[in-house]
Every structure is written in structure tokens, then in C-alpha cells.
A = this chain, B = another copy of it.
Amino acid sequence: MEIGFIGLGAMGRAMAANLLSAGHRLRVWNRSPAPARELAEHGAEAAGTPAEAFRGDVVITMLADDAAYRAVGLAGPVLDQAPPGLIHLNMATVSVDLTRELASAHAERGLSYVAAPVFGRAEVAAAGKLNIVAAGPESALDRAAPLFEALGQRTWRLGSDPTQAAAAKIAGNFMIASAIETMAEATTLADRHGVAPETLLEVLTGSLFSAPVYKNYGAIIAGRKYQPPGFRLALGLKDVRLALAAGEGARVPLPFASVLRDGFLEAIAHGDGDLDWAALAEVARRRAGAAAG
């Protein structure tokens, strides 16, 4: 297929490379030009503007946050020049409100909008093993199926309203952050009673909590190895904010999310915004009076 690709951060680059390997033609754009040039060496075409990339059969976008979508013009100007029938797959994590706004902006112009955010860090993206939650018009999901196959190990189709996928992704990220805070508190508590964090987590991830999220983040927390970040803590605050906003929109109190928000803020106030978001565990340690490591 002829695919536009906008947003070449660590995730976007890995995904774009997989699409090239799968034989698709790519026209790529990124705010800073270096990643586009690099992909051009592997066969992609570098677009001069977002609008130039917003053509072909499908456009995939993978930008950092709501603000980036607005800055690039994807809620308006860029769409005006897009060919009718184009399918836009937004695979980033953005707010439910922006999703609603984008869906209607596309519908007004005869474009298809699919929200298809992904679970997985950059190395998972590189391996083509992402978990994709997708929602949008059925025909668009059908046409996008081969792309999802090239990018992920599994895709869940949640329905025809893109906000469903946005909400599911936001809820999922909230669950990851909650698991991190849970391990942070539990290991701090156990540690103070003579049980090393790695021991506690070995017990629990060897039994009831034998899931990737506990194993991966548990290892980071037990080893206090927050660098290089798989997912930056400052982005974690952004994701919790998305959950709180989605909760406000639907009148859903989220007390755990409120605790997470305060914890991430405290971490950032102590200079840990660029560490992996598992560094939330340092907040629990510090509150309990543990000296910095």
C-alpha cells in the first residue's frame, strides 16, 4: 500500500521500518528532519510537509500528545487537502476529547478515522509484537488489517467509534501505572520488614502475578535501574492526566489515578521526569524516609 507516516520518534521509526520491510511504500514526515532522512536511506520518501504525507491509501500518525496533533494541523488544515476516502490510523495515545474531535473532523471531509493505539515499548514495536486496540469504521479496519499484522502480534477490534479504542488504551495505561505504584508500595513495605524487593517480587511474579507488566517493571524497581527509560516518567504523568480527563468527561471518580498523579508530580519535582516511569517507586521509598540511592 501507499502509506503516509507522520511522527518518527522511537516508536514511529520502528513501526515505519517494519512497514517498509513488509513491502509498503512510505512517505514519511517528522518535525525534525533527521529520522525522515534516515528512513529515506531505507527506501522511504521524505515528505516536505505534513500535508504531503497526508496522501495515498492510508496515513499512520504517531505523535507525542494532543498538543502535537494540534500543532501539526491534524485537527484542521492538513485534512482539507487530503484525498477523499483516505484512511487515517492514529496509533498514538491521545485524549478521548481529541479523538472525538478528530473523528468528526475527518467524517465531515469524507475521510476515515481509526484510533488504533498500541501497547508496547520501542523494542516491542521493532519486533512487530505490539498489541493494538482499534476502533473505527468497519471497512477501514478491514483495509488496515494487513498493516496491523505487520506491526503487531495481535489486534483487538473494539467497535466503530474511535473513542472506544482511545478509552481502552487510556484505561490500560492507567492499569500499568497502578501496577507500578502497587509494587512501589508493596516492596517498600516488605523491605522495611526484612524482605528484599527482588524476593517479594520473585514470589509474586512466580505465582499470582505472573504477567509481563509485573515481571518487567518489577525487575526495574527491584534493581532501581531507571535508565535508559523505556517510557519516560513525564509521559506517565501525561497518561494519568488523560485518564483523569476521560474520567471527568464521563463523571467517573478515579482515586487511584489521583494518587498516581500526585506521585508522578512529586517525582518530577525531584528531577526524575526523564527516568523510566517505574521511578515512581523512588517516591514511595523517599516518603518512607529512605535515603536516595
Enumerate chain A interface residues (CB-CB to B < 8 A): 96, 119, 131, 133, 154, 156, 158-159, 161, 163-164, 166-168, 170-172, 174-176, 178-179, 181-183, 185-190, 192-195, 199-200, 202-204, 206-214, 237, 241, 243-244, 246-248, 250-259, 261-263, 265-266, 268-271, 284, 287-289
Task: Give the distance to chain B from A70, nearest Cβ to Cβ, in Å.
Answer: 14
Q: A203 near B289 (CB under 8 angstroms)?
A: no
Q: B185 near A250 (CB under 8 angstroms)?
A: no
Q: B252 near A188 (CB under 8 angstroms)?
A: yes
The 9 A-B residue pairs with the shortest CB-CB distance in the complex, in nearest-first order = A269-B289, A167-B193, A211-B211, A258-B258, A192-B250, A251-B269, A253-B262, A178-B182, A171-B186
Can you list 16 residue pairs at the A/B interface with Cβ under 8 Å? A163-B194, A164-B195, A168-B203, A171-B186, A171-B195, A175-B182, A175-B208, A185-B255, A208-B213, A209-B211, A251-B269, A252-B284, A255-B263, A258-B258, A266-B289, A269-B288
Looking across the interface, which residue of chain B has its beta carbon closest to that of A204?
B172
The answer for the CA separation of A78 and B258 in the assembled complex, in Å, is 38
Looking across the interface, which residue of chain B has its beta carbon closest to that of A203?
B156
Looking across the interface, which residue of chain B has its beta carbon closest to that of A215?
B211
A257 partner residues in chain B, CB cutoff 8 A: 185
